[in-house]
Amino acid sequence: MTPNILSILIWLPVLGGILILSTGGDRNAQLARKIALGFSVGTFLLSLSIYADFDINTASMQFVERYKWIETLHIQYFLGVDGISMPLIILTTLLTIIVVIAGWEVITKRVAQYMAVLGGHADTDVPDYRGLGRFKPGLCGYKVFSVYAGWISTDACGDCLFVFRIRSHL
């Protein structure tokens, strides 16, 4: 069992996104694509260790990481996986590889930014069960960012814009 596997699965794609952005934009688009594919495959392979080490005989949270973050405000860095989240994490990391490959030749403008946004969303959009909000806007937030960046039209995801506005106020 890899210690801090959930933190690695969250921050590895973020690191990949930063490296992709450092490639210099469209002049090194091929390098950005290769880094995105490498980090997405690596993240997927790491996510398989969650499946291998998951105990199906318990209903409690597993792979729990809990650290005090901002003690005066009682804010913690708290991660864990339950039986529903585990397959969704693996599915998300697998779909990230598919999306990187699907956009390989289709995305020709702002390639590094597109691939970096994908890398930053390879982790899952996990709700905070105490009702304190969400860590990331998730797929709809990605679509909203895509509209701003000019990759897709506003008509293609008007419903996602609406969902993002609602979810951002939870």
pLDDT tens, residue order, the chain (170 aa): 778 999 999 999 999 999 999 998 788 999 999 999 999 999 999 999 999 999 999 989 999 999 998 899 988 888 899 988 899 999 999 999 999 999 999 988 889 988 888 765 544 444 433 333 444 434 444 444 444 444 444 444 443 333 333 333 33
116 and 62 in a single domain? The answer is yes
| 74 and 148 belong to one structural domain | no
Structural domain containing residue 135: 128-170
Domain co-membership, 119 together with 135: no
Q: How many domains does the chain have?
A: 2
CB 116 within 8 A of CB 20: yes
Shared-domain flag, residues 134 and 98:
no
Whether residues 163 and 100 share a domain: the answer is: no
Based on the fold, state whether residues 88 and 141 are members of the same structural domain.
no
Amino acid 120: pLDDT: 54
Residues 104, 141 within the same domain: no
Three-state SS for the chain is CCCCHHHHHHHHHHHHHHHHHCCCHHHHHHHHHHHHHHHHHHHHHHHHHHHHHCCCCCCCCEEEEEEEEEHHHCEEEEEEECCCHHHHHHHHHHHHHHHHHHCCCCCCCCHHHHHHHHHHCCCCCCECCCCCCECCCHHHHHHHHHHHHCCCCHHHHHHHHHHHHHHCCC
- Measured between alpha carbons, how far is residue 28 from residues 55, 97, 117, 147 in Å? 43, 20, 16, 23
The whole-number pLDDT of residue 65 equals 92
Cα–Cα nearest to 166, from 137, 145, 127: 137
Asked if 170 and 110 sit in the same domain, the reply is: no
Q: Are residues 16 and 91 in the same domain?
A: yes
pTM of the model: 0.71
Residues 99 and 158 in one domain: no
- Domain identity same for 13 and 39: yes
- In this structure, the answer to whether residues 92 and 151 fall within a common structural domain is no
